[in-house]
Amino acid sequence: METITDLIKDVPIPKMVKIREIYDDTHIPVEDIPGIIVKELDRPDLGGKIKPGQKIAITCGSRGMCNNALMAKTLVDFVKSKGAEPYIVASMGSHGGATAEGQLQILKDYGITEENMGCPVKSSMEVVQIGVSDVRHQPVYIDKNASEADGILLYNRIKPHTSYRGPYESGLMKMMAIGLGKQVGASTIHSQSPNIMHELIEEYGKCILKNAPILGGIAIIENAYDDTYLIKGMTPQEIIDEEPKLKEISYKTIAHLLFDECDVLVVDKIGKNISGDGMDPNVSGRFVTPHLCKGGIDAEKVVILDITDETHGNAQGIGLAEVTTRRLFNRMKLEMTYPTGVTNTFLHLMKIPMIMDNDREAIQLALCCCPDAEDQNNLKMIRIPNTAHIGEIEISEALIPQAKANPNIEILTEPYDLPFDENGNLF
């Protein structure tokens, strides 16, 4: 690496300022969440279907959600209040390295354990065929543990998807089709053209609603600050009718960078707990299927510095960047990353970008390779902690005029040099 280090050693890194991006911060106070969930569930056509002695499966996925464990525990307690026996089912497709143990670990990281929940937490990759899809006549699978329940309560966040657009994106319909489908079900859908994924999610989801004991579910929408914005209980028919409307609301509440473009986007950490693609392309602009999806910032180069602890070495999405660090490369576990690629078929998500020894050199490399920059001596750079938390970020001096012109941006500091340590790293 000495040759590359020598080539980029004199590349200047612009001074940065910290800014606050101001979004609608409407949210539900934490103390009100259990009461709202109980109220949403306690309807004759939803929670009223739960009878004493029944075994009720509650789905929990791999995404990090605000108040995740609190909401899961509230679902468990509600089922118990009906005299039924709840248990949680890991419902996350191929995540966790496509192993039962890996998916249990993901839930544990969120505080969803048997001890905390007061009920069994079951994880298995075994599935059973629940039916055949109406349109394409394909087999539809769900988790075996869930199939053995007298009733299934869905629980998931609704938000824009990272690789397709349609009436049902990330939400309860996808939780059934892919989450409950485990690796087998997820692979069955992803092995077909991304152009029809929105159709398959709906088709498989409706098959499960028809043939599995789905009681309904709790849908969550978060605001731009990752706080709980809306909680909605839905019957099976309401999932079909109302989820597309909730998806449209989520498009308005999701966080996005308040800049149209930059030369270099630096992302401190990616991970499966942040987004299915490691970093949400609705923020980063790096869609795995750009012919199907648009949005996010237009960055000429992207640098990823590290992965989250919660992703357990799964570095899916690293291939969407041009530069990374040796720290990330050393933490990446192929046995955790590759099963996701085999399942979703987007193998370029696993490609390794150029690896630099430290954060400083990774950023310098990206900065010196921006031929389309308007001003090579005054590059536009943005640094974010991850794509889920962009309330406070750093921008280079070249972006200050845009920031000052935007009433939804507050400049918090004077320009400063990035604080690299003696090893050339920022953290």
The segment with the largest mean pLDDT, out of 282-291, 371-380, 401-410, is 401-410
Residue 422 lies in a domain: no
Q: Looking at the structure, do residues 290 and 362 belong to the same domain, yes or no?
A: yes
Residues 6+ apart with CB under 8 A from 120: 87, 88, 114
DSSP 156-181: EE-B--SS--SSS-BSHHHIIIIITT
Q: Looking at the structure, do residues 228 and 326 belong to the same domain, yes or no?
A: no
C-alpha span between 260 and 296 (Å, rounded): 8
Among the candidates 218, 253, 288, a domain finishes at 253
Q: Looking at the structure, do residues 243 and 345 belong to the same domain, yes or no?
A: no
Residue 162 lies in a domain: yes
Q: Looking at the structure, do residues 8 and 103 belong to the same domain, yes or no?
A: no
pLDDT of residue 62: 83
Q: Evaluate if residue 1 carries a pLDDT over 80.
A: no
Residue 36 lies in a domain: yes
Q: Report residue 313's pLDDT band, with 50, 70 and 90 as the boundaries.
A: very high
Neighbours of 82 (CB within 10 A): 19
pLDDT of residue 106: 93
Query: Backbone phi, then psi, for 34, in 5-degree steps?
Result: -60, -40
Q: Looking at the structure, do residues 223 and 173 belong to the same domain, yes or no?
A: yes
Q: Looking at the structure, do residues 164 and 63 belong to the same domain, yes or no?
A: yes
Q: pLDDT tens-digit profile of 61-71?
A: 988 899 999 99
Contact 170, 102 (CB under 8 A): no
Domain CATH for 185 = 3.40.50.11440
Cite the DSSP H helix spans in 47-161.
68-81, 100-109, 114-117, 144-147
Count of domains for the chain: 2
Q: Evaluate if residue 2 carries a pLDDT over 90.
A: no
Q: Looking at the structure, do residues 277 and 204 belong to the same domain, yes or no?
A: no
Q: What is the mean pLDDT of residues 261-288?
A: 94
Residues 6+ apart with CB under 8 A from 355: 324, 325, 326, 329
Question: What are 368's two structure tokens?
Answer: 């010196």
Q: Looking at the structure, do residues 210 and 296 belong to the same domain, yes or no?
A: no
Q: What pTM, to 2 d.p., does this model score?
A: 0.86
Q: pLDDT tens-digit profile of 135-168?
A: 999 999 999 999 999 999 999 999 999 888 999 9
Q: Looking at the structure, do residues 276 and 406 belong to the same domain, yes or no?
A: yes
Contact 305, 394 (CB under 8 A): no
Q: What is the mean pLDDT of residues 64-87?
A: 97
Q: Evaluate if residue 373 carries a pLDDT over 80.
A: yes
Residue 387 lies in a domain: yes
Q: Which helix (H) or strand (E) holds 401?
A: helix 400-405
Contact 218, 157 (CB under 8 A): no
Q: Evaluate if residue 94 carries a pLDDT over 90.
A: no
Q: Which helix (H) or strand (E) holds 328?
A: helix 326-331
Among the candidates 253, 279, 314, a domain finishes at 253
Q: Looking at the structure, do residues 86 and 230 belong to the same domain, yes or no?
A: yes
Residue 424 lies in a domain: no
Residue 351 lies in a domain: yes
Among the candidates 201, 223, 253, a domain finishes at 253
Q: Evaluate if residue 355 carries a pLDDT over 80.
A: yes
Residue 91 lies in a domain: yes
C-alpha span between 386 and 63 (Å, rounded): 14
Q: Looking at the structure, do residues 234 and 291 belong to the same domain, yes or no?
A: no
pLDDT of residue 31: 98
C-alpha span between 207 and 214 (Å, rounded): 11
Query: Backbone phi, then psi, for 383, in 5-degree steps?
Result: -120, 130
- What is the phi-psi region of residue 64: left when phi exceeds 0, alpha when psi lies from -120 to 50, beta otherwise? beta
C-alpha span between 117 and 408 (Å, rounded): 40
Q: Evaluate if residue 97 carries a pLDDT over 90.
A: no
The percentage of residues in the chain with a pLDDT greater than 90, rounded to a whole number, is 87
Bridge-based pairing of strands 85-90 and 139-143 is unpaired
pLDDT of residue 80: 98
**Better pLDDT: 345 or 413:** 413
Residue 326 lies in a domain: yes
pLDDT of residue 63: 84
Q: Report residue 341's pLDDT band, with 50, 70 and 90 as the boundaries.
A: confident
Segments forming the whole domain that contains residue 243:
30-253
Q: Evaluate if residue 344 carries a pLDDT over 90.
A: no
pLDDT of residue 75: 98
Q: Looking at the structure, do residues 86 and 198 belong to the same domain, yes or no?
A: yes
pLDDT of residue 96: 86
Contact 92, 179 (CB under 8 A): yes
